[in-house]
Structure 1
Amino acid sequence: MTQQNADALTKAFAAADTGDASLLVSLYADDMTWAGFTVDGTVRLYTKGEFLEAFGVLAKLDESRNEVIGCAVVGDEIVTANVRIYRRLGGVELDTTMVMVHRFIDGQVTFGNDMVPSSFEQFWAAAGITG
């Protein structure tokens, strides 16, 4: 089942990059909790709604992409994803890889977290976007 989850995750991110976020939205359970980074580099817990809302900051950019470049399955529930993230606002660019960890129960992500390099918050500071 975990390989199916990894495939679903990869497909959902690819669809979201083409403008169809429905697969990604349905992949995350309604009661999901996500431990993730804010644009200033702090970590906080997000509900599903807050997590998806945080992606709205990408609309402020000239370009953004999220590409799953590799997944690893761990046991029966865990999928880690290396995600190449590209962000550009004017001449300020970020092109790096982040790691996202997803715990799947019955085909949906119930908990997750991410780790980003320090260039993540450096980009947002240079772009002048605080949230």
Structure 2
Amino acid sequence: MTQKNAEALRAAFAAADTGDAGPLVALYHDDMTWAGFTLTGTQRLYSKSEFLEAFGVLAKLDESKNEVTDVQIVSDEIVVANVRVYRRLGDKELDITMVMTHRFIDGKVTHGTDIVPSSFERFWATTGLTV
């Protein structure tokens, strides 16, 4: 089952990068909890709706891409993904690898985390954009 989850994760991110966010939204359970970063570099817990709402800031950018470059199957339920994150606003660019963990139950992500390098918040600070 975990290999299927890893493949679903890759496919969902690839679809989202082409403008079809449906598979990615569907992959996350409605009661999902995500421990992730804010644009200022602090960490917080997000519900699914808050997590997806935070992605709205990407529409304000000139360019945004997320590419799953590697996945590691840790156990029957856990998949870790290295995600290349590219963001551009004018001449400001961010090109990093973010690490995301996903716990799957019955094919849906119920819990997750991400960690990013410090250049993440420096980029957002220079853009002046907020969620």
TM above 0.5, one fold? yes
> Using the alignment, how far apart are the partners of 1:35 and 1:122 within structure 2?
20
Q: 2:57·2:130 contact (CA, 8 Å) conserved in 1? A: no
Structure 2 equivalent of residue 106 of structure 1: 106
> Using the alignment, how far apart are the partners of 2:61 and 2:85 within structure 1?
13
Structure 1 unaligned spans of 5+ = none
> Using the alignment, how far apart are the partners of 2:98 and 2:16 within structure 1?
17
Structure 2 equivalent of residue 73 of structure 1: 73
**Structure 1 consecutive aligned stretches of length 4 or more whose deviation exceeds 3 Å:** none
Q: Deviations over 1:24-76 (max 9, x none)?
A: 00000000000000000000100000000100000010000000000000110
**In the TM superposition, what is the alpha-carbon distance from 1:128 to its structure 2 partner?**
1.2
**In the TM superposition, what is the alpha-carbon distance from 1:127 to its structure 2 partner?**
1.0
Q: 2:100·2:113 contact (CA, 8 Å) conserved in 1? A: yes
Structure 1 equivalent of residue 128 of structure 2: 128
1:18 corresponds to 2:14: no
Structure 1 equivalent of residue 85 of structure 2: 85
Amino acid at match of 1:58: L
**In the TM superposition, what is the alpha-carbon distance from 1:115 to its structure 2 partner?**
0.3
Structure 2 equivalent of residue 97 of structure 1: 97
> Using the alignment, how far apart are the partners of 2:123 and 2:60 within structure 1?
13
Give me the identity figure in percent. 73
> Using the alignment, how far apart are the partners of 1:52 and 1:127 within structure 2?
20
Structure 2 equivalent of residue 36 of structure 1: 36
Find the residue that maps to 2:13 and give its secondary structure: helix
**In the TM superposition, what is the alpha-carbon distance from 1:130 to its structure 2 partner?**
2.8
Amino acid at match of 2:127: A
Q: Deviations over 1:70-105 (max 9, x none)?
A: 000011000000000000000000001000000000
Amino acid at match of 1:118: S
> Using the alignment, how far apart are the partners of 1:112 and 1:6 within structure 2?
14
User: Aligned Cα RMSD in Å?
Assistant: 0.5
Find the residue that maps to 1:59 and give its secondary structure: helix
